Structure 1
Amino acid sequence: MSTYKGQTPSDLKVDPRIVPFFERFYAVSDDPEAHEEYAQSFVPDADFAMGAKKTVGYDGILELRHGLWAGPVKSRKHSLTKIFPFGGGSNELMLYGTVAYGLKNGKEVTVDWAARAVMAEHQDALKFKLYQVYVDSTPVANAAKE
């Protein structure tokens, strides 16, 4: 079973494209070479925040994405646990899961994360209009120093 396939509430109508979108997105997110594909998951003027780092638009997202792989992290493996839509058929969601980091110094660290996502139609596809990730980077920074 894919670790990217999050559960959704059984009593709410959820856009059937949501779960496959996130399954693909987190697989792309964990691929250190898929920078363009990652940035193409967003509408052109999307807002994106990863912890304290914030940007707007395709070029900013692409630059931030390159930076995520330029530091101490050698590998990522996301596990998406649950997807919570804000009401049936909503395009606004909360998500949570874990991410296991493999560091360039050989250490491994797993941390919890949560995210807020607002989805939008763009060129006949579902994409992020807003994606804000809440993650504590302290465990990774501490392990990178050791």
Structure 2
Amino acid sequence: MSTYTGQAPSGSVELDPRIIPFFEKFYADSDNPDAHDDYVDSMTKDGTLIMGSKRATGQGELMTLRKGLWSGPVKTRKHHLHRIYPFTSQDVMLHGNVDYELHNGKSVTVDWAAHAQFVESEDKKLRMRFYQVYLDSAPVAQAASS
């Protein structure tokens, strides 16, 4: 099983069946330092992405933020998606962790949560119109500086 495949709890809200495969591709793209276009294409043209204090709206800002994620201390990242909690069929919370390998040779694992809202775009693809990640960046900063 892919580390990008999250498990949705059984319950009364039926998850859009396209969401699990969407996240499999999204996190594979997120972990690929060369997949900038595919990463940005996962969002709507006016989509908003928030990671901590970083915020981007629209594909130009999303591309700048995405490239910036690979210009710092992180050499590689590997996401693990554990659970998907649907509010509605296209509005979900996620929980997982991410393994970072830093340029200085140190490794760090950080837990994260995220909120994603989806829409079907004009070309009939499922895309996120909103994606917010909650994680503590202090462990990466500490490992990078020591």
User: Shorter chain as normaliser: what TM range?
Assistant: over 0.9
Alignment: residue pair count: 144
Could you tell me which amino acid in structure 1 is paired with residue 4 of structure 2? Y
Within 5 Å, which residues of 2 pair with 1:102-113?
A: 102-113=101-112
Shift of 1:125: 0.6
Extract structure 1 runs of 4+ deviating beyond 4 A. none
Please name the residue that 1:29 is paired with.
30
- Cα distance in 2 between the residues matched to 1:16 and 1:91: 10
Within 5 Å, which residues of 2 pair with 1:2-21?
A: 2-11=2-11, 12-21=13-22
Within 5 Å, which residues of 2 pair with 1:29-48?
A: 29-48=30-49
Please name the residue that 2:140 is paired with.
140
Could you tell me which amino acid in structure 2 is paired with residue 4 of structure 1? Y
Shift of 1:10: 2.0
Give per-residue Cα distances to partners, 1:42-99, cap 9 Å, x unaligned: 0000011011100100010000000000000000000000001104xx2111001000
- Cα distance in 1 between the residues matched to 2:57 and 2:78: 25
CA contact (8 A) 2:119 2:128 kept: yes
Q: Give the SS at the match of 1:70.
A: coil
Shift of 1:9: 1.7
TM-score normalised according to structure 1 size: 0.96
Could you tell me which amino acid in structure 1 is paired with residue 30 of structure 2? S
Q: Superposition RMSD on alpha carbons, in Å? A: 0.8
- Cα distance in 1 between the residues matched to 2:8 and 2:15: 8
Please name the residue that 2:81 is paired with.
80
Please name the residue that 1:92 is paired with.
91
Give per-residue Cα distances to partners, 1:90-131, cap 9 Å, x unaligned: 211100100000000000000000000000111111001000
TM-score normalised according to structure 2 size: 0.96
- Cα distance in 2 between the residues matched to 1:64 and 1:13: 32
